[in-house]
Amino acid sequence: MTEKIIQRNASGWENLPITWPDSIRRVMAARGIKAEADLSYSLSELPKPSLMLGMEEAVTLLAKAVMAQQRIMIVADFDTDGATSCAVAIRGLQAMGAKHLNYIVPNRFVHGYGLTPELLAEVPEQQQPDLLLTVDNGIASITGVEAAHARGIKVLITDHHLPGEVLPKADAIINPNQHGDEFPSKNMAGVGVCFYLLLGLRQYLRAENWFEQQHLEEPKLNSLLDLVALGTVADVVPLDKLNRTLVNLGLARIRAGRACAGINALIEVSGRDLRTLASQDMGFSIAPRLNAAGRLEDMGMGIETLLMNNPAEALSAAHVLDDINVQRRVVEQDMQADALTMLTKMSFDENNPPLGYCLYDEQWHQGVVGLLASRIKERQHRPVIAFAPGNEGEVKGSARSIPGVHIRDVLALVANQAPAGMLTRFGGHAMAAGLTLAMEDLPQFEKLFLSALQQTVDPAVLQAELLSDGELTSNDISLQLAELLPTIAPWGQGFSEPQFHGHFMVTEIRAVGQQQDHLRLTLDTGNGQLVTAMAFRQLQPAWLAKGGNALIRYRLAVNDFRQQRSVQMLVDNLIEP
C-alpha cells in the first residue's frame, strides 16, 4: 500500500484566540473552526425537531399512545447505537409517564436485521403491543411493517440509514436522510434521531398540559445525553456541529459523575477514569464491550445493563460483557490470521492490487465479520466485504469502505446489474453496509462487485493519504498538550483526533503484549528528550533498527503508570524515511 503524508490545510489559524497554543490553533483551523463560538456547545443552538420530515406525525402518534397508556414495544438493533437508542427511548418515555413499555431486539443469527416478520413472530398474542417503535432500524423493513399491520399493530420508524427507493408503509417515519427532508444535519446516529423524537414529544405533551394533569415533573432530557454520546461515537457518524454538541454535553455529564449506572460500570471494567474520559475511550473501550454481546450472544444483555439503576448490579453485568468481549477478541484474532493468509495466497501485482476484496470462510463468525472487514480495509486501503455462513444456503456479508468510495451506492449498482433476486437484502451508508446472498451466488457477486468498483472508483482515492496536523517541536511534545487535547472538543469521524508527524531517532525497540504483536519504541525527540511510543498491532519492519531513524505519524496521549503521568505517542504509521 502506497502511503503519503499530507499536511492538513490550516489557513486562517492566526485569527483564532491567541490564548490558545499555536499547535491547537492550527488543529482547529484545519477542521473548519473559524472562531471560538464554533466550539460553543448548547442544546438551545441546535436545529428544532419540527424541521425533520415526519416529526409532527410521529410525535402525534407517540403522544396518543403515551396519553392512552397503550402498550409500546421498542424494536432495537444489535449494536451500541441500537442499544443506547433503546435505553434512551425507554428511559425517556418512562419519564413522560408511559407505563406499558417493553422492547425486543433481534438476534442476528436467527432474525436478521431490523423489524422482520421472523422477529415479530416471537411476540405472543397476549403480549402484542399497540405500537411498535423502531430505533436505529426500520427504514428497510417493508415486510416487517406489513406483518405488523396484519396483526393490527401501528408502527413508528426512527432511523438514520439511507432509505431505498421504496419506503415501508409505516404509520410515521422520521429519518433525516429521507428524500425531501430539509433537516440541516444528515449525520445523526440512530440514538440522535430517537433523542430528537423525545424532544418533539415533550414539546407536544407540554402544550397538552400532560405533565400537570399527571402530576409529573417535566423531564430534563439532557439526563439522557450520556447514552446519546456513547451511541453517536460508537456508530462512527461524522461529528458535525450537532453531533459534537450531543457528544460534548454527554461527556460533560459522564465526567461529572452523572452518567447512568451501566455506563459508569462499563467505564470501570474497561479501566478508564470517568473524570478524564474522552470520546476515543467511548469508541475503543466502552462500545466494544456492548457490541460484543450483540456479536456473540444477545444484545438484550447490553440493553439491560444500560437500563439498570443499581450500581452493584450494573457492575456485575458489565463484568459479564467484559468476559464476552475477551471471547470476541480471540475469535477476531483467529479470523484475521485466516484473512491475512488468504491475502498472501492471492495472485496479484503488489503495485496494482484489486480495487476491493471479497473474503469468505465457512468457519468465520457472522457477528465478527464487520470487525474483520474493517481491519483488512485499514491494512489494504481498499473496500472489503467479509462473509460468513448465514441461514441455510446463505452467506452474510459486512462491508467497510475507504473515503471516496460510497459502499452502499456500490452495492446498489451491483443490485441493478445483477440477475433478479440475487441481491435483494442490503443496506447501510457510505462507509459501512451489510448484505445477504445465496452461497452459490458469491462468485458471481464478487465479479459484479469488482466491476461496480471499476465503474465508480476514482483511482486517486486508492492512494492512502495520511493526513497530519504537522510537526511538533520538542517543547510541544509535552504532558501539558497531551492533557489539553481531549478537553478541547470531542474527536471522531469527520472531526478527527489530531495526528502529527515527524522524523525521530529510535533509541530502543521492544516487542510487547501476550502475542508479542505490539511495539514499544523509545524516541529521541530532540534536545535530549526521550518519549515512549506505542505501536499497537504492528510488528517490527525489516528496515527499523535501534539507532536508526523513522518517519512516524502519531497521536499524543497520557501514560498514567503507577500514579506517574507522562506524555507518550500512539503510533499510527511507521514509515521508512
Question: What gap in Å lies between CA 2 and CA 573, rounded to an integer?
Answer: 12
Question: What gap in Å lies between CA 257 and CA 78, rounded to an integer?
Answer: 27
446-485 as b/e: b if 16+ CB within 10 A: bebbbebbeeebeeeebebebebbbebeeebbbeebbeeb
Each residue's pLDDT tens digit, 160-173 = 998 988 999 999 99
Tell me the pLDDT band of 383, cut-offs 50, 70 and 90: very high
Provide the residue type at 22 as one letter.
D
Statement: residue 364 has pLDDT above 90: yes
pLDDT at 350: 66
Cα 252 to chain centroid, rounded: 20
pLDDT above 90 as % of the chain? 78
Query: What's domain 346-462's architecture?
Result: Roll (3.10)
Residue 74's H or E segment, with its range, is strand 72-75
pLDDT at 349: 65
Average pLDDT over residues 249-257: 96
pLDDT at 153: 97
Question: What gap in Å lies between CA 237 and CA 177, rounded to an integer?
Answer: 13
Average pLDDT over residues 549-576: 91
% helix / strand / coil in the chain, to the nearest 5?
A: 45, 20, 35
Taking alpha carbons only, the member of 254, 239, 296, 304 closest to residue 83 is 304
Statement: residue 113 has pLDDT above 90: no
The yes or no reply on domain 465-575 and CATH 2.40.50.460 is yes
Each residue's pLDDT tens digit, 323-347 = 999 999 999 999 999 999 999 888 7
Each residue's pLDDT tens digit, 413-467 = 999 999 988 887 888 888 889 999 999 999 999 999 999 999 999 988 888 789 9
Asked if 121 and 312 count as a contact pair (C-beta separation under 8 A), the reply is no
Taking alpha carbons only, the member of 10, 567, 377, 81 closest to residue 386 is 377
Other Cβ atoms closer than 10 A to 256: 11
Average pLDDT over residues 286-307: 93
Average pLDDT over residues 482-498: 92
Question: What gap in Å lies between CA 420 and CA 426, rounded to an integer?
Answer: 14
Question: What gap in Å lies between CA 360 and CA 397, rounded to an integer?
Answer: 9
Provide the residue type at 282 as one letter.
M
Residue 163: exposure state from Cβ atoms within 10 A (0-12, 13-18, ≥19)? middle
Statement: residue 351 has pLDDT above 80: no
Question: Mapping DSSP to helix (H, G, I), strand (E, B) and coil, where does residue 223 land?
Answer: helix
Asked if 178 and 54 count as a contact pair (C-beta separation under 8 A), the reply is yes
200 CB-near residues (< 8 Å, 6+ apart) = 49, 50, 52, 55, 58, 59
Distances (CA, A) of 440 to 38, 89, 389, 462: 53, 41, 12, 30
pLDDT at 377: 94
| CATH class of residue range 45-323 | alpha beta
Statement: residue 109 has pLDDT above 90: no
pLDDT at 2: 55
Q: Domain limits of the chain?
A: 45-323, 346-462, 465-575
